[in-house]
Amino acid sequence: MHIRLSDPIVGRIAVTDGISEEALLMLRDAGHEIELKHFETSELNEGILSNFDAVVVRSATMMTGDVIRASVSEEGGIKFIGRAGVGVDNIDVEVATELGVVVCNTPGSSTRSVVELTIGHLIASTRNIPRADRTLRNGEWAKATLKGTEIGGKRLGLIGFGKIARGVANIASSMGMEIHAYDPYVDADIIDSAVYTMHNDIDEIFRICTHISIHCNLSDETRHLVNSRRLSLMGGIGADGTECGNHLVSCARGGIIDETAAFDALHSGQLSSLALDVFETEPVDDCPLLHHENFHGTPHIAASTIEAQSRISREITVQLLEFFEGERPSSALN
C-alpha cells in the first residue's frame, strides 16, 4: 500500500534521538518548527507525538503500534516517521501503514561505516588485538601466547546478503577469504556466482565456515537464529587447513545471536572469539560476555562516524522536505 501524500505544508517535527546542525538549519530555513527532545516511553504511549506532524528517530526510540496509534488523532498527529539509519525493527510499519503514516529510512548512508567496523572486529578477533591491548596495559609482555591467524584462506559466512554484507564480502574477498552467504530474500540477479557462493541451507554456512558475520534484520524469524546447535556445527579448520578456530561477528541487531549460547560456546572453546556491536539488551549493564577474555565489543557504534552521521542527516532531511512538499520520498517503505 502506498500512502497518499498531502499538499505542501509547514510542519512541526520532533527529533527524538538527535540530528546534525546542518540538517536542523536546512529544515528551519524551509520554515519547519523543530523540537529536539528524547521522550520517555510513558510520554510516547500517552500521545505526546500527536502534537507533531513528523518524527525523526534513531534506534533509541521505539515506535511501537501503541505509540503510533497514540500519535495519530482525528485532529492530526504524525504523518511521517523518519528512521535516521537502516533498520526499522523499532517501528511498527504495518500499523503506520494502516493509519496512513509514511515511514522512511536512510538505507545507504551508513553502509561504508558498518562495513569498516565489521572488518575491524573480524581482524581484531583473529589477531587477538583486544587481548593484546589488555595484557599490555596490565604490564604483561604476552607475545608468546597471542599467536593469531590470518583471515586469508578462510571461509567467511554471511547471514544476510544486503548492501552491508556485500560490502564486507568485497573487502574480505580482496583479502583472500572465500565468501559464502545465506539470504532467502536476496535478488539472485545481484549475485556474482563466480565470486560468492549462495546457500539455501543456513546450517551449511555454519558447517563449512570458520568465520561468520551477521547481516540480517531482527524479527520473530531471526531471533536467536544463531544458537547452540548452529554454533556446534562449526569445525574450526580453515579452508587452507589451518586450525584457526571459530569466530563470530555481529554489527547487525542484538537478539539474532543467543548471547547465553554464545557465552557457553566461548567457555567450552567451541567459539574462539565473539565480537559484538549490538546486544540483546541495550545499554549493556552486567552482561556475562563482558567478563570473557575472548569477547570484545563496542556500544552500537557501527554507524557512528562523522561521515555516516552527516550523510544520514542529509538524507533524512531531504526526505522530510520532499514529504512536506507533497512528494513521495524515494526511500518510503509503505
Residue matched to cell numbers 496512513: 100
Q: Is residue 266 part of a domain?
A: yes
Amino acid identity of residue 49, one-letter, is L
* pLDDT attached to residue 89: 87
CATH of the domain at 235: 3.40.50.720
CB 333 within 8 A of CB 88: yes
Is there a domain that residue 4 lies in? Answer: no
Is residue 292 pLDDT above 90, yes or no? yes
Which residue type is seen at 132? A
Q: How far from the centroid of its chain's Cα atoms is residue 239's Cα?
A: 28
Q: Are 86 and 168 found together in one domain?
A: no
pLDDT of 190 strictly over 80: no
Give the closest residue to 260 by CA, choosing from 282, 292, 298.
292
Is residue 124 domain-shared with residue 62, that is, in the same domain? Answer: no
Q: How far is CA 19 from CA 84, 91, 325, in A?
A: 8, 18, 21
Mean pLDDT of 82-95: 92
Condensed to tens digits (0 to 9), the pLDDT of residues 39-68 reads: 999 999 999 999 999 999 998 899 999 999
Give domain status of residue 7, yes or no.
no
Same domain, 134 and 242: yes
Q: Is the pLDDT of residue 6 over 60?
A: no
Q: How many domains does the chain have?
A: 2
Confidence of residue 38 (pLDDT cuts 50, 70, 90): very high
Residue 331, in any domain of the structure: no
Nearest-angstrom CA–CA distance, 239 and 206: 13
- Would you say residue 84 lies in a domain? yes
Across residues 186-194, what is the average pLDDT? 73
Residues 99-117 pLDDT 10s: 999 999 998 899 999 999 9
pLDDT of 4 strictly over 50: no
Does residue 334 lie in a domain region?
A: no
Residue 175 backbone phi and psi in degrees, to 5: -95, 5
| Sign of the alpha-carbon torsion through 35, 64, 223, 110 | negative
In contact, 158 and 179? CB cutoff 8 Å: yes
pLDDT given at position 1: 44
pLDDT at 127: 98
Q: Where are the alpha helices (DSSP H) in 129-227?
A: 129-137, 163-174, 202-208
Instruction: Tell me the residue range of the domain where 269 lies.
Output: 111-297
In terms of domains, do 129 and 240 share one?
yes
Residues near 2 by Cβ (< 8 Å), separated by ≥ 6?
A: 328, 332, 334
Q: In the chain, what percentage of residues exceed pLDDT 90?
A: 84
Q: Is the pTM of this model over 0.75?
A: yes
**Active-site residue list:** 253, 282, 300
Residues 21 and 79 in one domain: yes
Residue range 5-29: mean pLDDT, rounded: 84
Judge whether 34 and 27 are in contact, CB under 8 Å: yes
1 within domain boundaries: no
Same domain? For 123 and 188 the reply is: yes
Give the three-state DSSP class for 321.
helix
Same domain, 101 and 244: no
**If you average pLDDT over residues 255-268, what whole number do you get?**
98
Q: Are residues 77 and 198 in the same domain?
A: no
Average pLDDT over all residues of the chain: 93
- In this structure, are 122 and 258 located in the same domain? yes
Co-location of 238 and 133 in the same domain: yes
Q: What is the DSSP letter of 328?
A: P
Q: Is the pLDDT of residue 183 over 90?
A: yes
Q: Which residue has the cell 567457555?
A: 267
Q: Which residues pair with 102 in a beta bridge?
A: 80
At 126, the amino acid letter reads T
In the numeric block, the cell 500519535 is attached to 71
Is residue 87 included in any domain, yes or no?
Answer: yes
**CA atoms in the 13 A half-sphere facing the CB of 147:** 6
- Residue 220 confidence (pLDDT): 92
Q: Is the pLDDT of residue 206 over 90?
A: yes
H/E segment holding residue 264: helix 259-268
Question: Do 272 and 138 belong together in one domain?
Answer: yes
Asked if 83 and 91 count as a contact pair (C-beta separation under 8 A), the reply is: yes
32 and 66 inside one domain: yes
> Tell me, what's the pLDDT at 43?
97
The model's pLDDT over 114-156, given as tens digits with 9 standing for 90+, comes to 999 999 999 999 999 999 999 999 999 999 999 999 999 999 9
